[in-house]
Amino acid sequence: MKIGEEEGPQLDWAVIKSLMSAQENTSTSLERYLLYVTHDDFDLDRRNVEECLSQAIDHHERALEDLKVARELVSADESR
């Protein structure tokens, strides 16, 4: 049976939304660092780089949570 076949578009949309959210969190990390390195207004000393990396870790943790939600939705659909 194809994923999402039984549940219809609701499951597909939930998985797509979770994947999009994960991608958004990953892209945000890169965008912030690019902003810091391409604008003279930001002083990138060690503390600033560490803060940027901490923010990236937070965003990636959110991305992982979004992906786990998508996996749980698919697993729940398979067990039906």
> Is 63 within a domain?
yes
How far from chain centre, in Å, is Cα 54?
Answer: 15
> Is 1 within a domain?
no
More confident residue, 1 or 41: 41
| Cα distance between residue 64 and residue 13, in whole Å | 18
**pTM (2 decimals)?**
0.61
Per the listing, tokens 């990236």 go with 56
Answer whether residue 67 shows pLDDT above 50.
Answer: yes
The radius of gyration of the chain's CA atoms, rounded to the nearest angstrom, is 18
The residue range of the domain holding 65 is 9-18+30-78
Helix then strand count (H, E) for the chain reads 2, 0
> Is 25 within a domain?
no
8-state DSSP, 36: H
Answer whether residue 75 shows pLDDT above 50.
Answer: yes
State the DSSP H helix or E strand holding residue 5, giving kind and residue range, or none if neither: none
Which pLDDT does position 53 carry in this prediction?
A: 85
When divided into structural domains, the chain yields a total of 1
Please answer whether residues 73 and 18 qualify as being in contact, where contact means their C-beta atoms are separated by less than 8 angstroms: yes
Mean pLDDT in the chain? 80
